[in-house]
Homo-oligomer: A and B are copies of this chain.
Amino acid sequence: MGKQFLAITAKEEVTRNIAELSTKLAKRIVAETESVRIDRYEALGRIVARDMYSPHDIPPFDRATMDGYAVVASNTFYAAEDNPAALRVKCSIPAGEFPSQSIEQGSCTGISTGAVIPKGADAVVKVENTVEEDVAATVRTVKIYKPVAPGENIMLAGSDIKRGERIVNKGTILTPRETGVLAACGLNEVVARKKPIVAVISTGNEIVTPGETLTPGKIYDVNTQTLCDSVRDNGCIPVSLGITRDNIKEMAGKIRESLNEGADVIILSGGTSAGAGDVLPNVIEELGEIIVHGVDIKPGKPFVFGMCREKSVPVFGLPGNPTSALITFNLFVAPLLRTISGVSLQSDYDKGEITRAKAAVRIFSEPGRNEYVLVNLERAGKNFVVYPILTGSGAITTLSKAEGYVFMAKGKEILEEGEEVVVELLTKPVSFGKRGAFT
């Protein structure tokens, strides 16, 4: 048995390391990855790879913005409640039809919102300020009770968007509002960034794929599921490579397979601590360089991070314990995925990931450790309180019971009842549906 040395790195240094790398990596991925053509109808949430321009003037014609009468504005200048201007109504122009008549001094047309302004007209009088008594009469006349200025209630062709104008910038994440603008301009396709591919590998001699027979000594693999789902949550495409046994040859083989599959990032879980049969650090050493081996946090100490020599692909080794795997994923892997996928672009005023609460009871942490204490949140009036979860990081149910975690830095061993804490949410409110389940 025996004990392998872990050169523990401070959490802040790991975070800084990964943040620097993320930015470089994001640039490289954007530069090297081909973009994909996507139908506008499927484009929601995707990142636009090229600036987009309108092929049309919007609106394409001078357009009425009110129901009423298209007039020569000067014909209404002296109109008043007690002195209406009377104009001959030549016809009515509904939306969607091209006007066959033009107007001149003394005449006008009825007009609907959205209809084309007829030649000769330079303003629209709102229907509320008019009276036309007999629309069916052979000679129609309307009385106008309020003056309009030239241009009033008309939207000029191209005044919203000019033909050739840039309508969506490269790098924009498409919301319904931008897809609406694309529709308005008649564009059916978007050139979007490909999503980064993340290989997910579970390691361990004791784990089997859920659903297979559980022979004595074996347990089901949890991390493939939670990590693939978390990868989706952070804007990337997970590719599961299944389970590998804890030996150098098999693990190196899976990493090479990941590189061949075009993985931009590789995540393994298990095989990272200093116990028997933990070989991942050796594998990374063989295929490239270890940057971090061990972080000063609990849970998550045996976190490994390195780069594959050949293609400069980052490799993360997370602890095998599902809760520790998820916490180290959230701390160190998610920020990188959010940067390379572009999800982080939108998080500027994203306040969903943390919340403030008070400790409902005294909470203890292990002396001398930077500890993430798993908690659940409960409402207390308008605020939240947190209770620590005591099942421990080894239990699977810890995962489903915890809503988030509270960080207790080394030296902070007790949180008093009522003390204010910042809770990092495991189930991010922002994350619901981010999962792509709503298609």
Contacts and interface: CB of A to CB of B under 8 A. Distances in A.
Interface of A: 1-3, 40-46, 56, 58-61, 63, 65, 67, 92, 94-99, 110, 112-116, 127-128, 132, 135, 155, 159-161, 167-168, 173-188, 195, 204-207, 210-212, 214-230, 232-233, 235-237, 273-277, 320, 322, 326, 343, 346-352, 355, 377, 379, 384, 391-392, 394-397, 399-400, 402, 425-427, 429-439
Per CB-CB distance, the 8 closest pairs between chain A and chain B, nearest first, are A45-B437, A96-B206, A96-B205, A67-B275, A433-B434, A436-B439, A176-B229, A44-B435
Contacts of A232: 44, 438-439
30 contacts: A1-B110, A2-B132, A41-B228, A44-B435, A44-B436, A45-B435, A45-B438, A56-B214, A58-B219, A60-B219, A61-B216, A65-B392, A94-B276, A96-B207, A98-B217, A99-B217, A112-B277, A127-B275, A168-B400, A176-B229, A176-B233, A179-B225, A186-B211, A187-B210, A233-B438, A346-B427, A348-B379, A352-B352, A433-B435, A435-B438
A365 B174 CA distance: 30
A97 B216 CA distance: 7
Contact of A219 (B44, B59, B178, B347): B59
A168 to B, nearest CB: 8
Contacts of A173: 432
Contact of A397 (B63, B160, B220): B160
A229 B320 contact: no
A225 B41 contact: yes
Contact of A161 (B212, B277, B322, B396): B396
A343 B433 contact: yes
Contacts of A96: 204-207, 217-218
A351 B132 CA distance: 52
Contacts of A394: 65, 155, 160
A176 B231 CA distance: 10
Contact of A222 (B184, B227, B391, B431): B184
Contacts of A434: 45, 432-434, 438
Contacts of A233: 44, 176, 433, 438
A211 B350 CA distance: 35
B44 A437 contact: yes
Residue among A114, A216, A352, A439 with the most chain B CB within 10 A? A114
A392 to B, nearest CB: 8
B217 A116 contact: yes
Given A132-B1, A225-B182, A400 B177 contact: yes
Contacts of A116: 216-217
B432 A179 contact: no
Contact of A45 (B168, B235, B273, B432): B432
A42 B115 CA distance: 47
Contacts of A155: 394-395
A206 B111 CA distance: 13
Contacts of A210: 40, 182-188
A94 B436 CA distance: 39
Contacts of A212: 186
A130 to B, nearest CB: 8
Contacts of A227: 176
Given A61-B216, A177-B399, A350-B429, 20 more contacts: A1-B132, A45-B434, A59-B219, A65-B394, A67-B275, A95-B206, A96-B205, A110-B276, A175-B229, A176-B227, A178-B400, A180-B226, A184-B210, A184-B322, A233-B433, A236-B438, A237-B438, A350-B352, A434-B438, A435-B438
A30 B112 CA distance: 43
Contacts of A3: 127-128
Contacts of A174: 437
B177 A224 contact: no
A410 B226 CA distance: 50
B427 A175 contact: yes
